[in-house]
Structure 1
Amino acid sequence: MRPIKRIHKAEYRPIADLVTYSPLPTRSLQQIDPFIFLNHHGFQTYPERNQGLPFGPHPHRGMETVTFILEGDIMHKDSSGHESVVGPGGVQYMTAGRGLIHAEVSSSEFKRKGGDLEILQLWLNLPAAKKMVSPNYIGLQKDEIPAFEMAGGKIKVQQLFGEWNGVNGAFEGTFPLTMSTIYLEKGGMFNKKITSNENVFFYIVRGELKVNGEEIMFRHLVEFDNSGDTIEIEALEDSILILGHAKPFNEPMVAQGPFVMNTQQQIYEAYQDYQAGKFGTWEH
C-alpha cells in the first residue's frame, strides 16, 4: 500500500459570485510536481439572465490547463483561433506554451437560461525544455472521451491521458502523464498500482471514499508518500474522483499570476512579451 502523507482540505476562495474551493496551492501544500494548481467551482445553481463565468481575456505562458465540466458549460476562445463550447461530462485541454490569450466564459444560452454549474480546472506545469512549445487547445464532449467500466459497472472511468485497463486516453500529453475522471457508485471498489517514482494527484470532487482504509470526504486532496505502489479505493457513497500520476520534473518553479516559468527573469520576459503583443491579438 502507498502510505497517505497528508489530507488537504480545499480552501474557500470565491471569485465574484462564483463558489470556488482550492486545495492547491495552500499554506500546507505548494505543489505535487508537476500538478500545480486546482480550482473547484461550484456546485451552484445560476438563475436566469446571469453573468456566467467571470474569466474574460487573460494571458498564460509555461503551463497547461485541464478543465473538467461536470455541470453547465464553458465557451473557450483564444488568440490562436480556437473556439468551442463544451458541456457536461466534457473536458478541455489547453497548452499555453510560449503564450496565448484566452477567455473562459459561459455560453449565451447558459447566461440566458441559467442552471447547475460545477467545473474544475487543474494546472499542469511544463518541463523547462517545453515551456515555449506552440500553444494548442482541444475541447471534447463527454461522448468523445474513451471510457470503460470496472467492478460490475459500479466504477465508470473517463480516460483522459495515458493508458489504463487497455484504454488509451483522449489526449496526447506534452509529457508522460496518466489521468482519469472516475465515477463511483456506493460500494464500488478498485485498486490501482502506481510506481513509486511517480507523484499522485488525487482529489475527491463529490461523495466519500475509503482510501487505503482511511475515510475521506469530498473537497479533499490526498497527498501520498512515494513508497509502496498500490492505492485501494472503496466508495462509501456515490462519488467522483480525479486521479492522475506523473514523474516529477524536479525543476525550479516560479509562478506569478498567469505565468509559470523556471526563473524570475523568465517571468519578467513573459510580461514584456505579453505587453509587446507577442501572445497574439484578441478579437472580440
Structure 2
Amino acid sequence: MMPISEEASGKKRLVVKKLFARQQHEGFGAVVRRSIGRFELRYFDPFLVLDEFSVTAPAGFPDHPHKGFETVTYMLEGEILHEDCEGHKGVIREGGLQWMTAGKGIVHSEMPSSNGNGTTTHNKGLQLWINLSSKHKLVMPSYQEIESKDIAEAEKDGVRVRIIAGEWNGVKSKICTRTPTMYFDFTLSPGSKISQHIPLHWNAFVYVLQGHGHFGDAKSQHSTAAAHHMLILGLGGDRLEAWNGSDSGLPLRFILVGGEPIGEPVVQFGPFVMNTQEEIDQTIDDFENFTNGFEKARHWKSQATSDLGFF
C-alpha cells in the first residue's frame, strides 16, 4: 500500500454529496445512524455500510452471520463483548479497534458490557463494512485487534490524528488491509487545518463526529458540516482540505476514510455480500444447512447473548 502523508500539492477534492445520518433501530434495541447502506447511498465502492451505533444492555447485536466482507468496529465510548462460533472471544474497549475478516463465513455476537457492579453503561462506536474482492471472499475468518493505547497517533500544528489504517506523516498503522484502505480519526483544534493526500483514483468520505467544520471548498454549498453528517468526496483531485473555523472554541472531530474501488458486481442479501445471485442463493443454503463455512454454528450460542436472556 502506498504511503499516505498529511501534505499534498495537487487539486483539491470537493464535497459532491452531504447526508445527515438519521437514527434507526437495528439489532435488538440498538440505535444506529446509518450513512452508507441506506436508500440514498446503497454502496460506495468498496464500502458497504457505515453505522454510528449506540447501545445499552440488554439491547445489542446477538448471534448473526456475515460472509464476503470485513467489519471494522471502532469504539468511541464504553465497550462491546465479541464472541464467534469459531471460539474467538474478546472485548473491544473505548478507543480500541477490531478489524474482522468474515471471509467464507462466521456467526458472531456483539453485545454491550456492564461496569461490573450490575449497572449498565452507554456504548457508542462506528462500524464500517468493507467489501472484499472475489479472490478474497472465501478466505478463512480472521481478526486484527488493537487496544486504544496501541493505535498509532501523531500531532502537528493543532491537529491530532489516530491512524486506524494507512500512514500519516511517517507514522503507520499496524493494520493490514486486503482491500487497500486509509482510515484516519482527526481532531482539529479551533483555527487548525489539514491538507490530506488521498490516492487519485480512490473513493473517499468524511463522517463528522463532533463540532463544526469546513471541507473541500468554502464556496461549495456542501462544504460545511456538523456532527452526524456524511460527506462524499468527488474524484479529480488528490487531497482534502479541512479546517476548524469555529468561534465556539470547540474541537472538530471527524473520520476520513478512503479505499481503492474493487469494480466488481455486488449482490447483497443482508449480512451476505457476493458477486452473483447464484452465490447468494448458495450462501443462504449453506447458512441454513451449516455447511461451507458455517459448520460450527450448528450447536453454537454466544454466552453474552444467553446471559442477557435472548435464548
> Normalising to structure 2: TM-score of the pair?
0.83
Query: 2:43 is matched by which residue type in structure 1?
Result: Q
Higher Cα Rg, which structure: 2
Structure 1 residue 110: deviation in Å?
6.5
Contact 1:35 1:201 in 2 (8 A): no
Aligned length: 276
Alignment of 1:119-130 (within 5 A): 119-130=125-136
Tell me the equivalent position of 1:247: 260
Which string of whole-angstrom CA distances, capped at 9 and with x for unpartnered residues, describes residues 116-142 of structure 1?
321111100001111101101232210
Aligned to 1:75: 81
User: Following the alignment from structure 1 to structure 2, what is the Cα–Cα distance between the partners of residues 186 and 19?
Assistant: 31
Match of 1:19 in 2: 31
Equivalent residue for 2:144? Answer: 138
Deviation at 1:202, TM superposition (A): 1.5
1:50-105 Cα offsets, whole Å, 9 max, x none, are 41x42111111001000110001011111222211121111111000000111001
Q: Using a 3 Å threshold, how does the CA distance of structure 1 residues 185 and 110 change in structure 2: closer, same or farther?
A: farther
* Percent pairwise identity: 32
The equivalent position to 1:198 in structure 2, one of 195, 202, 223, is 202
Task: Select between 261-270 and 18-27 the one with higher mean Cα deviation.
Answer: 18-27
Which residue of 175, 179, 188 maps to 1:175? Answer: 179
Deviation at 1:28, TM superposition (A): 2.1
How far off is 1:14 after superposition?
2.3
Q: Which moved more, 1:22-31 or 1:106-115?
A: 106-115
Aligned to 2:8: none
* Contact kept? 2:65, 2:106, Cα under 8 Å: yes
The Cα offsets for residues 205-239 of structure 1, whole Å up to 9 and x where unpaired, read as: 22211112221111111111111222111123323
Q: Which residue of 2 aligns with 1:31?
A: 43
CA distance in 1, matches of 2:88, 2:276: 29
What is the Cα deviation at residue 109 of structure 1? 3.2
Give runs of ≥4 in structure 1 deviating > 4 Å: none
What does 1:75-224 correspond to in 2, within 5 Å?
75-109=81-115, 112-151=118-157, 154-212=158-216, 213=218, 214-224=223-233
Q: Are the aligned partners of 1:32 and 1:201 in contact in 2 as well (CA < 8 Å)?
A: no
- The one of 246, 252, 259 equivalent to 2:272 is 259
Q: Is the 8 A contact 2:113 2:121 kept in 1?
A: no
Distance 1:115 1:98, change over 3 A: same
Give the 3 Å change call, closer, same or farther, for CA 19–175 of structure 1 in structure 2.
closer
Query: Unaligned 5+ residue runs, structure 2?
Result: 1-11, 303-311
Give the match's secondary structure for 1:186: coil
Q: 1:230 aligns with which of 230, 239, 246?
A: 239
Q: Which range moves more in the overlay, 185-194 or 254-263?
A: 185-194
The answer on whether the counterparts of 1:25 and 1:37 sit within 8 Å (CA) in structure 2 is yes
SS in 1 for 2:118: helix
